[in-house]
Amino acid sequence: MQFRHTYGGIPSWVHWFFKYAGTGPSVTDAAAIANAAKNAWVSNLASLAHSSVVLTLVNVTDLTSATSAQNNSSGTAPGTRVGTALTSNDAVLYNQHITRRYRGGKPRQYWPFGVVADLATSQTWAAAFLSSCATLHNTCLNAILATTWAGGNITGEVNVSYYKGSATFLAARVSA
């Protein structure tokens, strides 16, 4: 899944990889999955993003082959967090840890969340804000994991490797 945002008009994309069980989604299923993911973002993560952050698209691509299904959501959704906006350089880092040896940087996501009041110092997030990020991110994840289609369902987060398939995450945490 690719969550495409604009932050004050500047593009900001977050890639979030999942595995599924059963048959692969059709193009119609991929659109429904994208809409479910967008709704999960709106219900959970929009409250962490300033109104200058706008979710513009959720794109779903089945990576099992070059011809597998791909589709996206329609419509936009702005963040709802009130306060003074941060710069487009600021993000909440979601570190992910995998179950295999891995050469290169660990999987991570940079989400365009927070406002000035969410900072503890000029370089660190307030603990309460990070706690909210972790809780809402996990709630969004659980909503995505509940997504099903005829013959298949999403079963977990993964890291995609160019060299050896995917790896399941051991744990994940939000950090500054």
- In this prediction, residue 98 carries a pLDDT of 75
- Tell me the CB-side half-sphere exposure of residue 13, using CA atoms within 13 A: 7
Query: In whole angstroms, what is the distance from residue 174 CA to residue 135 CA?
Result: 9
Cα three-residue angle 89-58-45, rounded to 5 degrees: 60
- In this prediction, residue 106 carries a pLDDT of 76
The H or E element that residue 143 is part of is helix 127-145
Residue spans per domain, the chain = 2-175
Number of Cβ within 10 Å of residue 108's Cβ equals 14
The chain-wide mean pLDDT, for the chain, equals 89
Q: What is the mean pLDDT of residues 12-32?
A: 95
**110 in Cβ contact with 88 (< 8 Å):** no
pLDDT digits (tens, 9 = 90+) for 55-88: 999 999 999 888 999 999 988 999 999 999 999 8
**30 in Cβ contact with 38 (< 8 Å):** no
Query: In whole angstroms, what is the distance from residue 157 CA to residue 175 CA?
Result: 18
Q: What is the mean pLDDT of residues 5-22?
A: 93
**105 in Cβ contact with 84 (< 8 Å):** no
Q: Does 17 score more than 60 pLDDT?
A: yes
- What is the C-alpha radius of gyration for the chain, rounded to an integer number of angstroms? 16
- In this prediction, residue 129 carries a pLDDT of 98
- In this prediction, residue 102 carries a pLDDT of 64
Read off φ and ψ for residue 100, nearest 5 degrees.
-130, 165
- In this prediction, residue 174 carries a pLDDT of 52
Helix pair angle (27-40, 127-145), 10° resolution: 150
